[in-house]
Amino acid sequence: MAHNFRIRLDRARCIGAENCSHFAPATFGNEDGQVVLLPEPHDSEAQIRAAAGACPMQVIHLDPINPSKDSSNEG
Amino acid sequence: MKDSTATLTKAQGVGRSDWERETTSRTGAGAVDDPYPKFAALRKNGPIHRGSTFEIFGVPDPTRDVWPDAHRFTIISFAEAEQVLRDAETFSNAGIRRMTEYVFGPVSLMGSDDPEHRQYRLLVQPAFARKSLSMWSQFVRPRLDELIDSFIAKGRGDIYFDYCAQFPVYVIGMALGVKREDLEQFHEWAAKLQVAAAPPDEARAAREAVHRYMLDIVNERRRAPRENDLITLLVQSEIDEGEGPRKLSDEQILGLISNLLPAGAGTTYRSLGITLVTLLERPALLAQVREDRTLVPVVIEEVLRWNGPVLVAPPRLATRDTEIAGVAVPKDSIVECCIAAANRDPAQFENPDVFDPFRPQKPTLSFSTGPHFCVGSQVARMELVTALNALLDRLPDLRFDPDQPQPTLTGLWYRMPTGVPAIWTP
């Protein structure tokens, strides 16, 4: 699903609470106790924003994509 | 608050046995039923208020003697509560260590800060990950069915005491390796380990009893490790306290158990009780949920926002002079973030006082936030979903008992229903 942001994870700070996968189970997973981005994320923008907001450690960053610089990014 | 509260005595908290009524009344059960109108009134004067939560509600404060000279503040807004809970450098958990030393002893997940806290946290988190849920769920549905089997033929009963209260401690006890015949005793110890729920002497005695009991199991798992087993995971874990990785000591393992036990002992069953009261008060919604089980987790999440089992996050200690929403908070102040008030903040939730499972999904503070976010949230969610589904499966026409007074929700630090008297077709 194309969103106008790119998901960036600050894995070093992750505590593996898995609250992100509660909100956006098709986007965030867990490997070795820390968050990973799943291969083909297909949650809604609202779900992903809720997951980022609900992350207790604020590990999930949604960087806006500037369409003039990179119009092909699928987020 | 109800007018009748002035006449309530200590023994009139919620519970079936004396020790339970005493532990619940200590934290406000029977004294405060509906705290939310007070929060709405306070909100007009801003997000932060002087005094502890207990002081604000005029209820004896069981934590008063812990920090007798500290300035006390209570936060009722979502944004400021989130800010404080996430800023663990300015708002330390070290103040909780003093409050809970007699409960947790020297190892305290709740009473320590990073990097010490993070080490222990990362060590126990795998036991609570989604991948490890079977470590817990293997005990859940069998226990629930066993409980329902024990009372279904009667056609009526109080399912708060006979069902809700009878499984989370059982599950955590089974996961810890406790013998079935000792679970009742274990329940009492676990309840007394809840922060501020028992006087220090009783809490200390409960911790020592748990340690004595669990030491045998710890030694047994060292000799004979088991698959998919919590204590085996702990005895095999390593921690690096600056001198290279080494196995956890007995004291550290027993300390972690004392940390985890009370968390699993009270919050989950009280949440289930609150969920049942909420649904039984709304028969049309109950019927809808029974037909469409995808609504079960949605309803549970909204109950946790709208009337969760924990009103206040454990108090934080200001490590420097600071400011919250323009109010000066001096160093060494004790700050309470009121999760329940934050979850009804109109700046975060539209029509926050309305119970609406269909509202847009938004982050809540139901499991707190920041480095001390509830370690057991996935286990709690799984237990709540499984327990509600089991009731819907087996008692499909569950409704309030018309011959009993309708239950109320009550409590300040810890929230709970007075009971769930119900009838059903056997």
Counting the structural domains of chain A, the total is 1
Q: Chain A: nearest CA to B21, how far in angstroms?
A: 33
Smallest Cβ–Cβ distance between A15 and the set B121, B130, B362 belongs to B121
Beta strands in B159-244, from DSSP E residues, in sequence order: 238-240
CB contact under 8 A, B369 and A15: no
Whether residues A56 and B373 touch (CB distance < 8 A) is answered with: yes
Pair B356, B95: CB distance under 8 Å: no
How far apart are the C-alpha atoms of B296 and B382, rounded to whole Å?
11
> Which residues, given as ranges, of chain B have pLDDT below 50?
1-11
In this structure, what CATH number is given to the domain that contains residue A34? 3.30.70.20
- Number of structural domains, chain B? 1
Least Cα distance to B397 among B422, B367, B418 occurs for B422
Nearest CA in chain B to A33: B126
CB contact under 8 A, A58 and B125: no
CB contact under 8 A, B371 and A17: no
Q: Are B78 and B365 in contact (CB under 8 A)?
A: yes
In a domain, A69, yes or no: no
| Interface residues of chain A, partner chain B, Cβ below 8 Å | 15-19, 21-23, 30, 33, 46-47, 50, 53-54, 56-58
CA distance B362 to chain A (A): 6
What residues does B414 pair with on adjacent strands?
A: B310
A59: in domain? yes
User: Residue B424 falls within a domain, yes or no?
Assistant: no
B347 touches chain A (CB under 8 A): no
Please indicate, yes or no, if residue A14 is contained in any of the structural domains.
Answer: yes
CA distance to B10, B67, B288, per residue, from B202 (Å)? 16, 20, 45
ipTM of model = 0.87
- Please give the residue range of the domain that contains residue B398: 3-419
Residue A31 counted as domain residue:
yes
Q: Which residues in chain B are closer than 8 Å to A58, comparing Cβ atoms?
A: 86
- Domain membership of residue A72 (yes or no) is no
In terms of C-beta density within 10 A (0-12 exposed, 13-18 middle, 19 or more buried), how is residue B25 classed?
A: buried
Could you tell me if B122 lies within 8 Å of chain A, comparing CB atoms? Answer: yes
pTM score of the predicted model: 0.92
Q: Quick check: B13 contacting A, CB < 8 Å?
A: no
User: Has residue B426 been placed in a domain?
Assistant: no
Residue-number span of the structural domain to which A48 is assigned = 5-64
Instruction: Tell me the CATH number at B94.
Output: 1.10.630.10
* Whole-angstrom distance, CA of residue B34 vs CA of residue B418: 13
Which chain B residues have a beta carbon less than 8 Å from that of A29? Answer: none
**pLDDT tens, A4-50?**
899 999 999 999 999 999 999 999 999 988 999 999 888 999 999 99
Q: What's the one-letter identity of residue B202?
A: E
Q: Which residues from B are below 8 Å from A56, CB to CB?
A: 86, 368-371, 373
Would the CB atoms of B125 and A50 count as touching at under 8 Å? no
Q: Is B265 exposed, middle or buried (0-12, 13-18, 19+ CB in 10 A)?
A: buried
Shortest Cα distance, chain A CAs vs residue B88, angstroms? 11
What Rg do the C-alpha atoms of chain B give, in angstroms? 21
Nearest CB among A17, A23, A30 relative to B373 is that of: A17
Calpha distance B204→B192 (Å, rounded):
9
Which residue of A14, A22, A27, A28 to mutate against B (max B Cβ within 10 Å)? A22
Residues of chain A positioned with their CB less than 8 A from the CB of B130:
18, 21, 30
Quickly count: other Cβ atoms within 10 Å of residue B343's Cβ: 21
Contact B362 A33 (CB under 8 A): no
Please give, rounded to a whole number of angstroms, the shortest distance from the CA of A70 to a CA of chain B: 30
Whether A74 maps to a domain, the answer reads: no
Separation in Å, CA B256 to CA B37, B168, B214, B235, B251:
38, 18, 11, 11, 9
